[in-house]
Amino acid sequence: MKKNNSGFILAEAIIVSTLALTVLVVLYTQFNKINRNYNITFSYNSVENIYAANNFKMYLLKSGYDNLVSALESMPERYLDIKSCPIEYLSENSHCKNLVDVISAKNIFFTNADIMDLKKEIENKTEISFEMKEFIKSISRNVNDDQYRLIIEFNDGSFATILI
């Protein structure tokens, strides 16, 4: 009886299948990454949000900026959460709360312009959302010691940051 030598052995079939599947999985995950980054670009630093952040900056410069700077420099944390318009730092507290409401801010952080320390500090903070951490990680470093930064998370899941 003549042996039929056409076809593949099981090992060959498995190896090819594994290779093909691996390539597909890598392709799919990379494509998902591109898709996610594409959506993210629309939610970071849009024109609307930059102007909203600028409005808050204008308010801070008139009503409590020096207090915030002193407080930040004396604290161990590298950021101040000022969304609730803390009265110990910010005057015209009612105006501040109205402004936060009008610009639809969910979180407002006041921090140094150089956020390298902040990036390390927030890694294990559970009170900060994953999306906020991702946004902070995406901010480029500014080594100017004299400047400070506002980081705002809005209710619609978008973000903005502005130097003061």
Partner 1 sequence: MNKKGFTLVELLSSIVFVSLIAFVLIEIVMSLKNLYDTSGLKTELLNKQGIISNKINSTLLTNSVVLVQRCGNECIDFTMSDNSVIKLEIDIKNNIISFGDYKTELNQNSQFGQIRINNILSTFSHPTKFDGILNIKIPIKSNNFEDKDFGINIVYQYNSNYTTINID
Binding site for partner 1 (CB under 8 A): 4, 13, 17, 20-21, 24-25, 27-28, 31, 35, 38, 42, 46-48, 51-52, 54-55, 58-59, 62-63, 91-92, 94-95, 98-99, 102-104
Of residues 25 and 116, the one with the C-beta less far from partner 1: 25
The sign one gets for the Cα dihedral 6, 9, 12, 15 is positive
Minimum distance of partner 1 from residue 156's CB (angstroms): 9
Minimum distance of partner 1 from residue 122's CB (angstroms): 28
Burial, 127: exposed, middle or buried (Cβ in 10 Å; 0-12, 13-18, 19+)? exposed
In this structure, what is the dihedral angle of CA atoms 104, 105, 106, 108, given to the nearest 10 degrees? -170
Of residues 35 and 147, the one with the C-beta less far from partner 1: 35
The sign one gets for the Cα dihedral 117, 120, 125, 129 is positive
Q: How far apart are CA 19 and CA 27, in angstroms?
A: 12
Of residues 62 and 120, the one with the C-beta less far from partner 1: 62
Please work out, in degrees rounded to the nearest 5, the angle formed at the alpha carbon of residue 95 by the alpha carbons of 89 and 98: 115
Of residues 24 and 163, the one with the C-beta less far from partner 1: 24
Which tokens belong to 33?
């990454």
Minimum distance of partner 1 from residue 30's CB (angstroms): 10
Minimum distance of partner 1 from residue 101's CB (angstroms): 8
